[in-house]
Structure 1
């Protein structure tokens, strides 16, 4: 979860000591190509050890087609989801995560009626599939969204999933699970899929979702993806919004959605999104997706939802909003383009984004990044003692400070050992090699050693597993 975290508030100490930007590390005139994942959304699902009740590794979802209609007067969400999936192994039923707050209407598999019912918070469709079989499941549903508790002690922890505001608007933040509060889904990070989302809203309202915007048709807003998305990285917001269109590097379209009359003070920072992305491109290569954006919602947090950052209004109004935006956009390289295969490796997301955020705050001021390192080491010792090392986070302490700060310090050690050129080349190559996939610790270590020609196995494992701060 890429939300504003009080445990790393030491970043504010650095801001007073920063200087101007350093020279670009790579030239934008020589962009590095980023390959796409399988065009059909094929993944390698892995059972999640932290939250085994979510996700179904027996199936691989290839594509979700969502047609949603929101009626604020009755607080009713009506949906029709078309899911193309592949059976990884023979199954007697198709099981998906889905909130029992909804009533199921028609359900079919490959055009034939199929009985669908709830087993707890799972939707089961009685249709056996042979190993390797590809099928199309269609489910219609209706109800009022209901959130689920977040398994964390964070100061900004909020209920997960689709939230209904008192005035009938919608918004969601849903890491590590919570997508299942608004559509049937295999809610685990390893099962990435392609999406098409259509949202029909009242006249004068906007429906905002993750993905590349398509032409609006009446009160229906449509979005599509060409790069697979993990379910926790999808987003939905419905309400009275003002749209601001800006351009990023190389003409990248960036859409800024602010709540009409409520987020005016945040606009100046958010329309700088193109500059933030440009700074990241200079270090890590081209932005991995065809469009970018940010939507403000009534929340205390922020989330790197793919192609459309979900930003809490409390964060948007804060003095640190620019560095938070850099953190969230950094995730589009580290977490979105290449994500963790299980939640045990959430440090892969948070370590990179946290360290890149500090590089942005310091911006070439060596003394500033060294001050951060000293302060971070002191905080690291406390976090390891209170929560544990980042390589094996407790299930009830999701996305707490240890998975942000401790791996950021590990990356700092790699940076010092390699120097600027090789370190940023390492980050670019990681995304270029694995874009569209989910990876784990073993693959990261093997990649670092292969890319650098040096053995960093001990250093990485020490930082991820030691109960005390490594020397």
Structure 2
């Protein structure tokens, strides 16, 4: 999620604390052998090692590994009804008497498991299908459903927590979602935990004059159906879908990278010049952190008061920047693109290590702002230490978050200060090489504090364990 600039934060209180129908070439079952003959090999890149979350054990199911989501969706703006069919390719991690996923607010119309009709009950934000599964014997779950999505509460005191998380639809039929740490459960059945990343294919049908923007690589638009594919695994919280009367703006980035921005004519005109800088912003990031990790990039504008690093298609809330300096919009755009490396390509195993995402993206944002605003290292050092001290006192250290304070400013600023100390100790050349190697060697995996610390020590040949632990755990700002 995005956050405000260091310059603006020194002058005032921090403003922003926030930071796919299945494809036609999917394998089909051999008719003579039935559904059980499906080759699940094409979705092997979606294999994960799910774990239970210490902060939010009620979300996700560590007994299931979803390999692929095929979402065939239809949105009717006039009635505000979303109709969907979700096809999940699932590898059970352990034998169980049922399939349990996260899902809420929508009506289930039909459920099948391997083509055989089953039942599905939704209660307490869970979909339960009482069909037994066997460890490492994949199954195909298909769920047809409909309804008007409803947002759920965010476990935080952040300024944008009041608008809820998940998918929302406005009275004029506009649809969009912001969903960290969860919210995908408001529009499709999902194993809602960052440790279970999966491949996606989305097909979204909308009326004439409307357009659908979603995470993943944009595919062909067939009539009024928009398609998106994620061939790299995606954590559910960085999936997105927005439907509006969008204008689609195409650009070409470095190495021929396809960039697609979705904006509202007139409404979003003030952001166009900044969005058109995207190729240069990605070049700036690539110079420091290596090649952009995905086959496409872009951003959609929505009605949120925050911004989000949704994979391959950033979600930028126009309400967060409507009265602000466009330099702030530019800096947050860099923050969310930085997340494509730090958070999306390498994802924390549990929410305890959210600092791994936000610390890097925030520090990178501040480095960019040094060029954008022209402040020096001494200014940044002073700002980071003053902010760090206040945040540790108010919220606690970033390495020990509590369930009710999700993604508050301590997991942004405090680890950014730690990374500056690491940068100061190593020098720019070695620090950027370290950060680049972290992504290159751990791409499409889930990591945690222990693996990060071990990596830093191994790559540098020095023991930074004390520095990292002090900045993550100390109740006061380390000396």
Q: TM-score, normalised by structure 1?
A: 0.92
Alignment of 1:37-436 (within 5 A): 39-99=44-104, 101-157=105-161, 158-317=163-322, 318-319=324-325, 320-363=328-371, 368-436=376-444
Against the structure 1 CA distance between its residues 263 and 366, is the aligned structure 2 distance closer, same or farther, given a 3 Å change threshold?
closer
Unmatched tracts of structure 1, length 5 or more: 14-36
Correspondence 1:453 to 2:457: no
Do 1:96 and 1:123's aligned partners in 2 also have CA atoms closer than 8 Å?
A: yes
Do 1:11 and 1:372's aligned partners in 2 also have CA atoms closer than 8 Å?
A: no
Against the structure 1 CA distance between its residues 11 and 138, is the aligned structure 2 distance closer, same or farther, given a 3 Å change threshold?
farther
Against the structure 1 CA distance between its residues 8 and 145, is the aligned structure 2 distance closer, same or farther, given a 3 Å change threshold?
farther
Against the structure 1 CA distance between its residues 9 and 96, is the aligned structure 2 distance closer, same or farther, given a 3 Å change threshold?
farther
Against the structure 1 CA distance between its residues 6 and 445, is the aligned structure 2 distance closer, same or farther, given a 3 Å change threshold?
same
Which has the higher relative contact order, 1 or 2, with Cα contacts under 8 A spaced 6 or more apart? Answer: 1
Against the structure 1 CA distance between its residues 223 and 365, is the aligned structure 2 distance closer, same or farther, given a 3 Å change threshold?
closer
Q: Secondary structure at the match of 1:207?
A: strand
User: How far is the alpha carbon of 1:314 from its aligned partner?
Assistant: 2.3
Aligned match of 2:446: 438
User: How far is the alpha carbon of 1:8 from its aligned partner?
Assistant: 8.5
Against the structure 1 CA distance between its residues 48 and 9, is the aligned structure 2 distance closer, same or farther, given a 3 Å change threshold?
farther
1:455 and 1:8 map into 2 onto residues whose CA distance is 33
Q: Secondary structure at the match of 1:150?
A: coil
User: How far is the alpha carbon of 1:462 from its aligned partner?
Assistant: 0.5
User: How far is the alpha carbon of 1:105 from its aligned partner?
Assistant: 1.1
Q: TM-score, normalised by structure 2?
A: 0.91
Do 2:45 and 2:232's aligned partners in 1 also have CA atoms closer than 8 Å?
A: no
User: How far is the alpha carbon of 1:442 from its aligned partner?
Assistant: 0.5
1:430 and 1:367 map into 2 onto residues whose CA distance is 28
Provide, for residues 234-255 of structure 1, a one-character-per-residue CA deviation record: whole Å limited to 9, x for no partner: 0000010011101111111111
Provide, for residues 343-395 of structure 1, a one-character-per-residue CA deviation record: whole Å limited to 9, x for no partner: 00000000000000011111399962320111110111110011000001111
2:428 and 2:374 map into 1 onto residues whose CA distance is 12
Q: Secondary structure at the match of 1:363?
A: helix
Do 1:5 and 1:156's aligned partners in 2 also have CA atoms closer than 8 Å?
A: no
Unmatched tracts of structure 2, length 5 or more: 13-41
2:264 and 2:72 map into 1 onto residues whose CA distance is 23
How many residue pairs match? The answer is 446
Aligned match of 2:25: none
Alignment of 1:31-42 (within 5 A): 39-42=44-47
Provide, for residues 17-62 of structure 1, a one-character-per-residue CA deviation record: whole Å limited to 9, x for no partner: xxxxxxxxxxxxxxxxxxxx98430011111111111100100000
Q: Secondary structure at the match of 2:46?
A: coil
The root-mean-square deviation of aligned C-alpha atoms, in Å, is 1.7
1:271 and 1:315 map into 2 onto residues whose CA distance is 19
More moved, 358-367 vs 192-201: 358-367
User: How far is the alpha carbon of 1:465 from its aligned partner?
Assistant: 0.2
Q: Secondary structure at the match of 1:293?
A: strand
Do 1:8 and 1:405's aligned partners in 2 also have CA atoms closer than 8 Å?
A: no
2:366 and 2:62 map into 1 onto residues whose CA distance is 36
Against the structure 1 CA distance between its residues 335 and 38, is the aligned structure 2 distance closer, same or farther, given a 3 Å change threshold?
farther
